[in-house]
Homo-oligomer: A and B are copies of this chain.
């Protein structure tokens, strides 16, 4: 049983009716639904948002989380630094974290990467093709080559992140750009997966292929031996 928490800032859906129309249960709701649909009893999924006390990421919730998904966009700076530090410590102790789309600019992602995490972008709603370049990776299992997303915001290079441990997906946009869209990193005892498809203006989290990637990622990133303390100094005798 993998214990999953889907975190979403949840601001667009509560302030913009046109976004709420696309995601009536919130982006977190759509993601949670996809995971439950594909993984069934193998997961227990809860959600949390910015507006919850401690953003819904209190000690107790994190202590019961094996995999955290993170979606944020316009309210990154409203996330409490203490919560970010708590999440980072938990990742270093073994919790998996999946950072989505505009989450590239979240405090937690920038903290884990050490870089600006900037990129090029243009919201033109054109087609994105997600190509697999590591076909035997568990996250790519059962994913179409390419995975097609009919309408999407463009994200382009240069994406200012460290060299990934594994590059699984690269996306190609109709307007001319491309983007390293599926990346993994180890940090401490935990793992990070960044996946760029997904925007509040497009129904990307209902796409079957995207849901497959996220379900695969949850299974791959869950710690096999539970989450413990972050690595610490050992005074060897």
Residues of A bordering B, CB below 8 Å: 88, 92, 94, 111-116, 118-122, 129, 131-136, 138, 141, 145-146, 154, 156-160, 162-163, 165-167, 170, 172, 175-178, 180, 185-191, 223-225, 230-237
A224 partner, pick from B121, B138, B146, B154, beta carbons under 8 A: B138
B120 near A234: Cβ-Cβ < 8 Å: yes
Chain B residue nearest to A173 in the complex (CB) = B172
Enumerate chain B residues within 8 angstroms of A231, measured Cβ to Cβ: 115-116, 118, 135, 158, 160
Chain B residue nearest to A113 in the complex (CB) = B114
B92 near A115: Cβ-Cβ < 8 Å: yes
Enumerate chain B residues within 8 angstroms of A188, measured Cβ to Cβ: 115-116, 160
A145 nearest CB across to chain B (Å): 7
Enumerate chain B residues within 8 angstroms of A136, measured Cβ to Cβ: 94, 186, 189-191, 223
Chain B residue nearest to A140 in the complex (CB) = B158
A237 partner, pick from B115, B122, B166, B191, beta carbons under 8 A: B122
A221 nearest CB across to chain B (Å): 11
A120 near B154: Cβ-Cβ < 8 Å: no
A231-B116, A234-B121 given; A158·B178 CB < 8 A: no
B160 near A119: Cβ-Cβ < 8 Å: no
**Cα of A177 to Cα of B145 in the assembled complex, Å:** 10
Enumerate chain B residues within 8 angstroms of A154, measured Cβ to Cβ: 236
A121-B235, A141-B225, A170-B170 given; A133·B157 CB < 8 A: yes
